[in-house]
Every structure is written in C-alpha cells, then in structure tokens.
Copies of this chain bind each other. A is one copy, B any other.
Amino acid sequence: MTTPLTTRTEIMSILENRGYRATAPRRVIIELLEGKKEGFTAEEISNELPGVGRATVFRTVKLLLNAGVLCRLNMMDGAPRYSISSVEHHHHTICVKCGNVGEFRATNIENLMRALSEQIPGEIVGHRFEFYVNCETCLAN
C-alpha cells in the first residue's frame, strides 16, 4: 500500500545527526523494526534477535524513542509497546486483540486541544490520546 515514510537509512542518519554511531547491532534492530505495522515490545525484539544483546535492544529502543523515531504507547492495562512513527505528530489506534497499530492525524484534535487549553488550568506541556480498537482484520474473523 503506502511506502513507509521512514526508511532504514533515513533512521540511521537521524541517529548520526544526533552524534550516534551507525553500528551493526543498531542497523540490525532498525532493519527489523522497519515495516513492522504491529506494536512491539522491547522483549519481542530481543527474542527475535538472539544475536544482539538484550541490553542493547533496550538501549536502542530508548535511543530511537528519544530521537522520535519510535513512539511509546500503552496498552489498556498500561503495558508498554512501541511503534515506528511515520508522521510528525499523530495519535494511535491499537487493536486490543492483535496489537496492530494505526496512526492518524486529526486536525479536529488539534482544534479541540486549543479549545481545551482554555478550560484547563495550568500550562499544557504534552498530551496523549490513545484509541483502543478491534481492528477490521480481527472483526472479520
């Protein structure tokens, strides 16, 4: 369907711009992540890459998270899950059955934000909207 906006090499250069080295383990991890449409846990990645040290996976995930390449999202029970983010600012739909992650931007939301910021005391520094869904594939079954 749509080509991922963020490619392996793109991601590597994001890291390089931040002064990080393009090492083999990082390449391997990024290669695996790229194109994963489902949310994933650091644990899963670690299991799928026995050749890469567990700690390195966790360190790299955190790195990518800070670089904005990955998004952290929480399942309904709070379990952490990550997904590649292709668009700058967006929100997620997470299938509670299969873990598939969707992204969407809704200007509606940004407008709402502006309206809410007047109702909410204090200064909004961030927000998180997550929608838990049964995805179409799961519904079809």
Number of interface residues of A (CB under 8 A): 37
* Contact mask for chain A residues 63-74; partner B; CB cutoff 8 A; 1 contact, 0 none: 000000000101
Q: How many copies does the complex hold?
A: 2
Q: Measured between C-beta atoms, what is the minimum distance from A78 to chain B in Å? A: 5
Chain B: which residue is nearest A116 at the CB level? Answer: B106
Question: Contacts of A95 on B, CB cut-off 8 Å?
Answer: 122
Decide: A123 and B133 in contact? CB cutoff 8 A. yes
A105 CA / B73 CA spacing, docked (Å): 23
A93 within 8 A of B: yes
Of B76, B112, B116, B122, which is within 8 A of A134 by CB? B122
A44 within 8 A of B: no
